[in-house]
Chain A
Amino acid sequence: MSHSVSRLGGHGRRAGRQDTAEEAPLIRWLLIGVALLFVCAFLLVPLVIVFSSAFADGLDAYLDALADDETLSAVRLTLLAAGIAVPLNLVFGVTSAWLLSKYEFPGKSALVTLIDLPFSVSPVIAGLIFVLLFGAQGWFGSLLSAWDVRIIFAVPGIVLATTFITFPLVTREVLAVMQAQGSDEEEAALTLGATGWQILWRVTLPKVKWGVIYGVILCNARAMGEFGAVSVVSGHIRGETNTLPLHVEVLYGEYAFVGAFAVSSLLALLAIVTLVLKQWVEWRAERRTADLATGAAPPTVARTVPAG
């Protein structure tokens, strides 16, 4: 990179400039070709296969497969798990990001590392942790069975596992935005006499709004798509503790290929919706910053447009 820049900079050296001019298109097309090939092979072809297998026996078979009782119950369970995990992680994510970006305290870097724990352990281990804690032979097993409370192999276990797995997503997104933006405005608000709540609601949250939405979208996608951890704590009771990804595996194992791919297509659609939303959020966030930079703020401050 720096090499070619210095070449371009050196106007006097003709040969060098000609080289770059000849090389560039070839390399560019090669790179574009490789990228396109990879995108097709690893992203587009699987998507096409999912949808073509789902519609292999026609639209009626597809709709029948989706209207199946067990499929509907999987949809409900997945919505429930995500519906609980996402709000929980939203509240936790925003508060922890606020804490980590605005305050200094001992053990802060350890906390940042710990928040990433669910990313670094294998989902299977995450599931087994809950079995070891709440299983009949686990730490709290006898207590739970005395109270007749069921956690694993029931809905609470699935919600717990989903929450655990998606734990870092909102924090990570919001923390990055908060750190990039600094605390100048908050400090200004403080000198003007704003209370903590006022600063949070009127200054900080509006500033990081798009980061929060982005985090929620990612969190939701992962919550609905999680397989490993949920599989360990599910117990696989049909029509009861199978989430959408687990149900896909069940159907595939039963040679019900249309059903399996019909349900897969729901998850694929979720992925596509997630991507579109993400793109839209990024576009909105960028436009907003651009508006702020060109409109309200004096031209000298316009340099603070974040890249990408």
Chain B
Amino acid sequence: MRIAAALSTLLVLCLGVLSCRKDGAADVTLLNVSYDPTRELYGEINAEFSAHWEKTTGQSVRIRQSHGGAGKQARAVIDGLEADVVTLAIAFDIDAMHERAGLLPKDWQTRLPHDSAPYTSTIVFLVRKGNPKGIRDWKDLVREGVSVITPNPKTSGGARYNYLAAWGYALREFGEEGAAQNFLARLYGNVPVLDSGARGATTTFAERGIGDVLLTWENEALLSLKELGDKADLELVVPSVSILAEPPVALVDTYADKHGTRKVAQAYLEFLYTPQAQRIAGKHFYRPSGASAAAEFADQFAEVTRFTVREIAGSWREAHEKHFADGGVFDRIYQPGAKAARAR
């Protein structure tokens, strides 16, 4: 029975490796469930907050991170991923936590300043070096022969902002919804592939070299310019108008109370509004809401008129029902393969 002996040795070895794992020496741990592009941001903020909290209270705190597509992450929290705080891309996903599982109160968004958005962003374009297709504004995206990369608004929070930004532009330009819908139909007719999330779309565009223009978060665009540098041969284009993206944060009452972490979780969210954290947000290409950090990083961000979701769609719920729910505007204007049919 040498096999049994070998297997039990292996098992003992595994258990040995496991038992020597570095034990969480922290007094308290938090779980922050976030979306994709915030990995670098929270990596840095968490370290600062831990230091700050230990200095002021003597209690050591460890913040665990989970990242993924915003809609998927919200779904996981509803299904039992016990986040003490969530920091997601759109308020709609946090609303869903209230509606489907009652994890936090309906008025969660009023509990922190600036509608619970400590930093903001917007939607911009990334194009190939030298801008060979001459893309300057939204109207250039619907031209014949321009290939547009944007993720699927059904699964990606960033993609919903992309969609609503184009919608807002079209409403301002044409003044009525029929024409705006037409504009979006032409725009999505130019989209060869819908990735499920923002990072996936960035990879499709920057690494795989598909498409002429990528619609993306401003922070994601600036980050990929920095990370990929000259290798990627990309250029930033800021359109005439765009949307005010407000990624919200919230305490998840049910789980925080269950873990007994409400106090430190609340302090963590409030910390996001301090000048210290605001500077980190600016450094990672999010537009700070605090005045001093906003001034410090003003050069980094282009002047752009930003309209809010409220102005163009009422609320996230209304936007969802009208545009993204099954049978909504997006389903009507986007048919995979429609482009090929039309080209004939």
Contact = CB atoms under 8 A, between A and B. Distances in A.
A79 interface: yes
A249 B194 CA distance: 19
Contacts of A86: 7
Interface string B320-334: 000000000000000
Contact of B80 (A80, A153, A237): A153
A135 B79 contact: yes
22 contacts: A76-B21, A80-B14, A83-B11, A87-B11, A135-B80, A136-B78, A138-B79, A141-B80, A153-B79, A153-B82, A212-B3, A237-B31, A237-B65, A237-B66, A238-B64, A238-B66, A239-B64, A240-B64, A253-B39, A253-B199, A254-B40, A255-B228
Contact of B21 (A73, A87, A131, A255): A73
A79 B14 contact: yes
Contacts of A239: 64
Nearest to B68: A236
Contacts of B15: 83
Contacts, number: 75
B67 interface: yes
Interface in B176-203: 199, 203
A137 B78 contact: yes
Contacts of B101: 136-137
A304 interface: no
Please tell me the size bucket of the interface on A: 20 to 34
B80 A254 contact: no
A90 B7 contact: yes
Contacts of B47: none
Contacts of A250: 67
A135 B75 CA distance: 10
B3 A152 contact: no
Interface in A204-257: 209, 212-213, 216, 235-240, 250, 253-255
A253 B35 CA distance: 12
B70 to A, nearest CB: 13
Given A83-B10, A136-B101, 13 more contacts: A83-B14, A87-B11, A137-B100, A137-B101, A153-B80, A209-B3, A236-B66, A239-B64, A240-B64, A253-B36, A253-B67, A253-B203, A255-B227
Given A209-B3, A237-B64, A254-B40, A153 B81 contact: yes
| Chain B residues touching A, majority SS | helix
A124 to B, nearest CB: 12
Contacts of A153: 76, 79-82
Interface string A48-92: 000000000000000000000100010010011001001100100
B263 interface: no
A145 interface: yes
| Chain A residues touching B, majority SS | helix
Nearest to A144: B80
**Cβ-closest 10 pairs across A and B:** A136-B80, A135-B79, A83-B14, A153-B81, A255-B227, A235-B81, A236-B66, A237-B66, A238-B65, A253-B199
A212 B7 CA distance: 12
A153 B40 CA distance: 22
Interface in B4-42: 7, 10-11, 14-15, 17-18, 21-22, 31, 36, 39-40
Contacts of B36: 253
Interface in A114-140: 131, 134-138
B79 A136 contact: yes
Interface in A261-299: none
Given A150-B82, A153-B82, A237-B31, A254 B18 contact: no
A237 B66 CA distance: 4
A104 B30 CA distance: 55
A150 B203 CA distance: 34
A235 B77 CA distance: 9
A265 B207 CA distance: 21
Nearest to A253: B199
Given A237-B64, A254-B40, A131 B22 contact: no
Q: Which of B11, B80, B199, B224 has the most CB of A within 10 A?
A: B80
B67 to A, nearest CB: 6
Nearest to A220: B10
Given A73-B21, A79-B14, A79-B17, A145 B80 contact: yes
Given A79-B14, A80-B18, A236-B68, A87 B7 contact: yes
